[in-house]
Amino acid sequence: MSSSTPTESPTRADLFSDRLAAVPRDPGVYTMRGKNGQILYVGKSVSLRNRLRSYFANETRLTGKTKRLVKLIHDFDYIVAESEREALLLENSLIKQHKPRFNARLKDDKSYPYIKVDLDDEFPRVYFTRRRSKRDGARYFGPYASAYSVRTTLDLLKKLFPYRSCTMKITGEEERPCLEYHIKRCVAPCTGYADKAEYGKVIEQVVAFLQGDTNKVVVELQESMSAAAENLEFERAAALRDRLNAMRIVYEDQKVVGISQEDIDVIACEKGSDEAWIDVFFIRRGSMVGRDNFIMAGTYDDPDSHIIAKFIEQFYIDSNPHMPRRILTQTEVEDASVLEELLTERRGARMEINVPKRGPKRKLVDMARENAVQGLSQLKLKWQANSDLMSRALDDLQDALSLPAPPYRIECYDISHIQGTSSVAAMSVFENGSPATSQYRRFKINSVEGNDDFASMREVLTRRFKRLNSIREKRSKGEKPEREADSFGITPDLVLIDGGKGQLSSALGTMLHLGVADIPLASIAKKEEEIFVPDSSEPIVLPRNAPSLFVLQQVRDEAHRFAITYHRKTRGRTSLKSALDLVPGIGPSRKRALIRRFGSVKAIREATELELASTPGMTQRLAEKVKDYL
């Protein structure tokens, strides 16, 4: 009777081992493909073989995003490039073409609008466009993030510069000008009131303004105004004066204190769950001429250095014809030297990527980062305001977690401490998918010594649900609880724990001990965003872009933020305590008197008992105690 030994199923490394050995060590671009041949990811490397092998060698070293990618890979291919620079260009081109789900990429990058100055026309127009040609002789400014951004800029330009907005053929033979001439918004070349040279001067000023050379435009307007006044053309001089005053206001508003006369773009980002908000400040010749924001998709688990590098690649190398001398970022970017080489080539002059550490430039980066934080926050709030979408998200949560009803009220608990000191906890509350901040609660951990998150969570849940049990009991007896309107008097539809399977198990034991097993419980592990529920050994993994996952992440992040804030406050109070606070009989008044006289605890320690006793409010006995304790 023969017996067969069971064999282990081959790993992905085994399946691809022969092909991986044949991959060259040259620089190039590789693509990872899924089951149906779709491109999941495009990457580049200076050594294709080493990079591809790294995906299949040791999964424990991979990040969460890469682990998910590797599980879906059914095939790969590659293209050898002459250099790392060529590989970067090819990678960028393939990402734009295929939009792989695992790549960080600009959303809808091909549809970004521009401002076009049509210089081929005898009397050029300035208008909105989404198509850019390199061969039509026109000047393009942008791309802008939205049509609103373009229209806002065009509105400002029209107030400052009287260029034509009509599409008619200019002959100079029209009998009467249109309304725009009478409201000082056009110099009316159609009637011959302005010849080609005069109109061309207006367009030159528009281009200079869009390039950020505001000071040059101000000087030209001053000269033209003075010349008109000398020629007794007082009406024209008055119109130029009004434009000059408007330009000066714009110029003063745009000036950046401490920044020299150079062209700079400032880039900062803030990450969400699977997308990132990019904020860009455009500074030309020391003046801030604009600001825009963009969304990068597919950024889950990507560091800021990678996200910003991909934004620079996709925004500048392919799209933006107006290149600054310098780019400032919040962190070092990937492949900085290669990017600088490509940017310099595109610009035709040296272009650098810098990370300022201090001074006005660092303040600009910090300001851009704060704008990115606020922008992403507003984006989330807009999403939350969509009641239909939120309702569907809660319904999806009910199905995914097998809840008895949609979780209208979700409570999340988080512990915060540093090596077991100043331990605190926080409870965030979301109702109908939106934060109910008035019902947030915070806890100071009283019964736990040292670093024991499980015990701390047991204390918090016990304190919270003992209160609920007490209120429930009084209601059952027909009594009205004293604090019925308290947040603790409301039964949640879902209790969420920040943590993994171990934290869930500990919380479940506490809930069962308190007799509140009727309240659904779940935990969410931040690293992989896996959701654990009782009676299931396997985690629930929701799609990264699922609104239901977004709700849980928001509740969890709010609990963490609230806990951290309270922990810092508690730790700050503790650190401010002086050694004098430990001395019996030394209260705030005597402490102030001692500090006022001696200046520091060290000086008090070195003082004699007689000197201490002679301090106002002190006695010989208290002086002895101070010396003993210090």
Q: How many CB atoms lie within 10 A of CB 342?
A: 20
pLDDT given at position 575: 44
Whether 256 has a pLDDT exceeding 60, the answer reads: no
102, 132, 165 — which closes off a domain? 102
The answer to whether residues 614 and 546 belong to one domain is no
In tens, the pLDDT along 395-439 reads 889 988 988 888 999 999 988 866 556 678 889 999 888 888 888
In tens, the pLDDT along 559-604 reads 888 888 776 766 555 444 556 777 788 888 888 888 888 877 778 8
Show the domain range for 377. Answer: 264-382
pLDDT given at position 10: 53
The answer to whether residues 269 and 358 belong to one domain is yes
Whether 313 has a pLDDT exceeding 70, the answer reads: yes
pLDDT tier for residue 364 given thresholds of 50, 70 and 90: confident
Interval 22-33 mean pLDDT: 90
533, 557, 573 — which closes off a domain? 573
102, 123, 156 — which closes off a domain? 102
In total, how many domains does the chain have?
Answer: 4
CATH of residue 602's domain is: 1.10.150.20
The answer to whether residues 551 and 409 belong to one domain is yes
Q: How many CB atoms lie within 10 A of CB 276?
A: 25
Token pair in block for residue 466: 């003992």
With a CB cutoff of 8 Å and minimum separation 6, the contacts of 64 are: 300, 301, 527, 528, 529
Residue 503 lies in a domain: yes
Whether 335 has a pLDDT exceeding 70, the answer reads: yes
pLDDT tier for residue 108 given thresholds of 50, 70 and 90: low
Cβ 300 vs Cβ 306: under 8 Å: no
The answer to whether residues 320 and 399 belong to one domain is no
Whether 520 has a pLDDT exceeding 80, the answer reads: yes
Is 448 strand, coil or helix? coil
The answer to whether residues 443 and 566 belong to one domain is yes
pLDDT given at position 4: 43
Cβ 112 vs Cβ 315: under 8 Å: no
Give the global pTM: 0.53
With a CB cutoff of 8 Å and minimum separation 6, the contacts of 357 are: none
Beta-carbon-side half-sphere exposure of residue 442 (alpha carbons within 13 Å)? 18
pLDDT tier for residue 30 given thresholds of 50, 70 and 90: very high
Residue 72 lies in a domain: yes
With a CB cutoff of 8 Å and minimum separation 6, the contacts of 512 are: none
pLDDT tier for residue 302 given thresholds of 50, 70 and 90: confident
The answer to whether residues 407 and 342 belong to one domain is no
CATH of residue 335's domain is: 3.30.420
The answer to whether residues 562 and 593 belong to one domain is no
pLDDT tier for residue 180 given thresholds of 50, 70 and 90: confident
The answer to whether residues 531 and 588 belong to one domain is no
Residue 302: C-alpha distances to residues 39, 64, 287, 297, 387 (Å): 19, 10, 33, 11, 30
Residue 534 lies in a domain: yes
Token pair in block for residue 391: 């309702």
pLDDT given at position 248: 63
pLDDT given at position 3: 42
Interval 35-55 mean pLDDT: 88
More confident residue, 320 or 616: 616
More confident residue, 145 or 58: 58
Quote the DSSP letter at residue 450: S
The answer to whether residues 446 and 535 belong to one domain is yes
Least confident of 192-196, 276-280, 559-563, 580-584: 580-584
Please give the Cα distance from 252 to 266 (Å, whole number). Answer: 20
Q: In this prediction, what percent of the chain has a pLDDT beyond 70?
A: 85
Q: In this prediction, what percent of the chain has a pLDDT beyond 90?
A: 12
The answer to whether residues 374 and 401 belong to one domain is no
pLDDT given at position 6: 44
pLDDT given at position 12: 61
The answer to whether residues 378 and 394 belong to one domain is no
pLDDT tier for residue 268 given thresholds of 50, 70 and 90: very high
Residue 3 lies in a domain: no
Mean of the per-residue pLDDT values of the chain:
81
The answer to whether residues 300 and 437 belong to one domain is no
pLDDT tier for residue 353 given thresholds of 50, 70 and 90: very high
CATH of residue 61's domain is: 3.40.1440.10
pLDDT given at position 7: 47
Residue 507 lies in a domain: yes
